[in-house]
């Protein structure tokens, strides 16, 4: 009987240790920002302020998307000390699409697929140090992807 209790204790402790990093990641996730329906409210909830337009952000996305359900987007930041990249689409039911965090010595570059409800700008905000930089690209959606 003691062996069974010991195994339960070890299994419980191991599970707790494995879940702890997931809890830390969940703390970074801003649920209200992902649930809001207004782009200005999402940026406010994320603490984004005083955005500076920058050509040091590259957005590679199609000019015309055949299907808004799958729009491939590639983003690269050439800004020093890039900490985070946010992807927003204003005309989506929930405009905050993604939030990526980057550690030091990581190349701030990503490729992802997003859903777009209709023709709209893809807005990328890059946090570099204490500043926020932005760039947008308009994508014409021929077939709606989300509603």
pLDDT, tens only, 78-120: 999 999 999 999 999 999 999 999 988 889 999 999 999 899 9
- What band does 31 get if pLDDT is binned at 50, 70 and 90? confident
Instruction: Name the fold adopted by 30-141.
Output: Immunoglobulin-like (2.60.40)
Q: Whole-angstrom distance between the N-terminal and C-terminal Cα of the chain? A: 56
- What band does 147 get if pLDDT is binned at 50, 70 and 90? low
Place of tokens 């299994």: 11
In contact, 115 and 65? CB cutoff 8 Å:
no
Q: What are the sequence ranges of the domains in the chain?
A: 30-141
Helix (H, G, I), strand (E, B) or coil at 84: strand
The model carries a pTM of 0.78
């Amino acid at each position: 009987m003691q062996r069974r209790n010991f195994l339960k204790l070890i299994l419980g402790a191991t599970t707790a240790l494995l879940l702890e990093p997931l809890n830390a990641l969940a703390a970074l996730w801003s649920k209200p920002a992902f649930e809001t329906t207004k782009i200005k409210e999402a940026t406010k909830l994320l603490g984004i302020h005083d955005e500076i337009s920058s050509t040091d952000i590259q957005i590679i996305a199609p000019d015309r998307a055949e299907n808004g359900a799958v729009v491939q987007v590639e983003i690269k930041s050439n800004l020093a000390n890039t900490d985070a990249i946010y992807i927003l689409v204003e005309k989506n039911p929930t405009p905050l699409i993604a939030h990526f965090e980057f550690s030091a010595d990581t190349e701030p570059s990503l490729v992802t697929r997003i859903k777009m409800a209709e023709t709209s700008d893809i807005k990328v905000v890059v946090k570099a140090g204490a500043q926020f930089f932005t760039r947008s690209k308009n994508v014409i959606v021929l077939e709606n992807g989300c509603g």
